[in-house]
Chains A and B, each alone.
Chain A
Amino acid sequence: MLKDITLGQYFPGDTVIHRLDPRTKLVMTIVYMVALFTAKDIISYGVVMAGLAAVIVVSNTKLKMLLKGLKPIVIVLAFTGILNILYAPGEHVIAHFWVFTITLEGIKTAILMMLRITMLIMGTSILTYTTSPIALTDGMERLMGPLKKIKVPVHEISMIMSIALRFIPTLIEETDKIMNAQRARGADFDSGNLIQRAKAMLPILVPLFISAFRRADELAIAMESRCYHGGEGRTRMKVLKYKRRDIITFILGIAYLTAVIVLRKIGL
């Protein structure tokens, strides 16, 4: 169950998408998100989706992995869908009962909203699937570089993020171990109602937190031993350089966003 959480997981590969500069990918993810929220109707959604599909194909990302990443938000999706169906106003009434009115427009809105959330998670997942966390945080550090002038601890923030990402699989593994250890002593995580299950999870958190703090302590010592002393004077093995593929991507990205904006303006 816990192994299914794939958000923030990198799958090494060697496609064009993998090789793009992380800054390009970050900016493009933002472009994609803006496009996604600009899209208004079926056609513009189609364009956004076509872009996503193209990236999925080029980056060789397995659809199974993307769908797995959606699992944790199934409830949110269902909730959004139901609320929109029940409450969205519209003219073509399909059914009417008690205070609820289900309309054709409501169903359409619901579908588009669910699609939007799904595509949002998928699109951002591709960023983390195809970019190593170090490259990702390196890219963020560079993009946010100018903020250093106003005393934003850019390097520290990116270091914290990259370490957090690095320890996700380790802590998941640990959680699994703790759960199994407690199962072996009769703990029951799989039955009962939601509240009972949530209560059963509490005893996992205590050992998990203790071990996470211990890990943090040991990691800090190991980092210090390897001469870590903040961002000052630190160089990188992989220096980020924009290449031709990045420029092409930028051009495609601008065209993509423009297309979606134009479609919105003409009401599609």
Chain B
Amino acid sequence: MGTIKAENISFTYPAEEGKKRSLVLDGVSFEIEKGSFTAILGHNGSGKSTLAKHFNCLLIPDTGKMEVFGIDTKDEDRVIDIRKRIGLVFQNPDNQIVANVVEEDVAFGPENLGYPSEEIRKRVDQALKTVGMEKFAIHAPHLLSGGQKQRIAIAGVLAMEPECIVFDEATAMLDPEGRRDTMKIIRYLKKEFGTTIVLITHHMDEAAQADRVIVLDSGKIVMDGAPREVFAQVEKIRSLGLDVPAGTSIIYELERAGVDIPIENLTVEECADAIYNALA
């Protein structure tokens, strides 16, 4: 059974006056396996954040069917069941933090779920340790850096012990260091806890770390496959208003210039090796 299963879902926001209603999601179908790491790409307005909001019943598809852990998101009685198993981390850490003290913010989720206080304490300590913020447990969040705040937001989701975490452009507002830290935590979660990861991002080098890349354009899935396969189609990616990872871009230019070099390279090391071998 897949963690997230979308069957031909479509969605439209209520029309603004004088504007035509346009489909934000247009017949999207896919399935995300338990324990996988999927990146969702697409330029602004492609519908990727709208899709993320469908994962935990914040939005319900107009047509089609969305199933999470085998539960239909239309089932209003089971919203909490879904939300406690699938956590969402959003773009702006400031707007996700509810409390004035780090540990009380992390406790917010489990408190809502009605766990006894010792259990909450345990989960909060564990979650803060996982994101490496245990030293800041009694700090005020507004005094932390953006990257640290985002780690607190992740801890807040982790404290609910979800099976799947969706990062909705969670690195978009961070500096390179904060972005690196967040990616490190994501890889750690996948490795240590087998958490299913869905990463919605603008950064191609982050998407390249996933097992699978889904590219959205105008509410439709236009590409779906392993990062190697997807990024190898440099022209198509660029025509969608996206970019490819820097290494792939260099190789692509070399290939166009007539160098015999395989394009399916992704990491910096792989690319360096491939360029070295091709030019040697």
Contact = CB atoms under 8 A, between A and B. Distances in A.
Interface of A: 10, 12, 132-134, 162-163, 165-166, 169-170, 173, 215, 218-219, 221-229, 233-239
Given A10-B100, A166-B97, A170-B142, A226 B114 contact: no
A54 B88 CA distance: 47
A6 to B, nearest CB: 13
Contact of B116 (A10, A163, A235): A235
Pick the most buried of A163, A226, A234: most chain B CB atoms within 10 A of its CB. A226
Shortest Cβ-Cβ A-B pairs, 5 listed = A218-B95, A237-B107, A222-B96, A237-B120, A226-B109
Interface stretch (B1-9, B65-73, B79-87): B79-87
Contact of A133 (B88, B92, B100, B107): B100
Contacts of A236: 107, 111, 117, 120
B98 A223 contact: yes
B142 A169 contact: yes
Nearest to A233: B114
Contact of B157 (A134, A173, A226, A239): A226
B124 A237 contact: yes
Contacts of B113: 227
B131 interface: no
Interface of B: 53, 56, 58, 80, 83-84, 87-88, 90, 92, 94-101, 103-104, 107-117, 120-121, 124, 138-140, 142, 153, 156-157, 160
Contacts, number: 107
B114 A10 contact: no
A166 B98 contact: yes
Contact of B80 (A132, A170, A227): A227
26 contacts: A10-B100, A12-B101, A12-B140, A133-B99, A134-B100, A163-B98, A165-B100, A166-B98, A170-B94, A215-B94, A221-B53, A222-B98, A222-B153, A224-B58, A224-B83, A225-B88, A226-B98, A226-B112, A227-B83, A227-B113, A233-B114, A235-B120, A237-B107, A237-B110, A237-B120, A238-B117
A233 B138 CA distance: 26
Nearest to B118: A237
Contacts of B160: 226-227
B88 A228 contact: no
Contacts of A234: 111-112, 114
B112 A229 contact: yes
Pick the most buried of A165, A173, A224: most chain B CB atoms within 10 A of its CB. A224
A196 B149 CA distance: 39
Contact of B100 (A166, A221, A229): A166
Pick the most buried of B100, B108, B109: most chain A CB atoms within 10 A of its CB. B100
Contacts of A227: 80, 83-84, 109, 112-113, 160
Contacts of B53: 221
